[in-house]
Amino acid sequence: MATKIFLYVLLFTLLVHLHGFSQNTDGDKRLIQFSGVVVTADSLNPVSFANILIKNSRRGTITDFYGYFSFVALKSDTVQFSAIGFKESYYVIPDTITSERYSLIHVMDADTILLEPTIIYPWPTIEDFKEAFVNLDIPDDDLEIARKNLNVAEMRHRIESYQMDGSLNYKNYINRETSKLYYIGQTQPISIMNPFAWAAFIKAWKEGKFKKQKDDKY
C-alpha cells in the first residue's frame, strides 16, 4: 500500500514538472528581441528619448539620441509610443514571427498643442487703465515731426538763438584771413567809418539783437 502511494506521488510530481516545462518552452518561444528606430513623419528625423511601453504593463524602454530602441517583448504585445510634441501611437507585434528578432521603423506624427491666450496688463485695476489711457502722451509720427521742423517761426527762432557752428566759424576765419591778405602792405579800412556797417548796427540795435544776446549769456 505504501509503495502504491509513493508511486502515485512520484507520477503526480513528474506530470507537474512536465506541464511546467511545456509552459516554459511555449513562453520562451513567444519571446523576441524587439528593436527599431522611431522617426518623424515629415522629415524622417530621429525622435530622441521617446517612451516605449507595453500596454497594460510596466515593461518598456526609451529611445536613445538617434531614436534607436531594443528590448525583450512577447508576440501579440501592443507597444505604445509616446513623446512630447508627437501624437501617441500603437503597434501590435505580429504573432506569426518565426525568428527570435524583429525590427521596426516606427513613424510618429507631430502634435500641435494650442494653448489659451493669456493677456498681461501693466495696470492692476480698470480704473488705473482708464486714467493711463486718458493721460496717454501719444508721440508724434514722422510727418508731424517734419512739419514742426519746417515751421517758419521755429526755423527763425533757431537761427536767432543758436550760436555759430563749426562751418560758420570756419567761414568767418577764412574771410578775415582773406581780408588781411587783400590789404597786405597797406592800412586796412576802419569799419567805424563805413556807412554800411553803421546801418547794419542800427538795424540790429532796433531789432533788439544785442539785448537778446546779453540775456542768453546769463
**C-alpha span between 182 and 176 (Å, rounded):** 10
Closest CA to 53 of 34, 66, 39: 34
Specify the pLDDT at position 3. Answer: 53
CB neighbour list of residue 100: distance below 8 Å, 6 or more residues apart: 31, 32, 33
CB neighbour list of residue 163: distance below 8 Å, 6 or more residues apart: none
Q: Give the model's confidence band at 68: pLDDT under 50 very low, under 70 low, under 90 confident, else very high.
A: very high
Query: What is the CATH topology of the domain spanning 2-108?
Result: Immunoglobulin-like (2.60.40)
Closest CA to 81 of 55, 103, 56, 58: 55
**C-alpha span between 153 and 199 (Å, rounded):** 25
Is-contact 77 94, C-beta < 8 A? no
**pLDDT of 1 higher than 80:** no
List, by residue range, all CATH 2.60.40.10 domains of the chain. Answer: 2-108
**pLDDT of 127 higher than 60:** yes
Is-contact 65 48, C-beta < 8 A? yes
Report, as an integer, the average pLDDT of 111-134: 85
**pLDDT of 79 higher than 90:** yes
**pLDDT of 168 higher than 60:** yes
Instruction: Note the pLDDT tens digit of each residue in 33-65.
Output: 999 999 999 889 999 999 999 998 889 999 999
Cβ count within 10 A of residue 18: 10
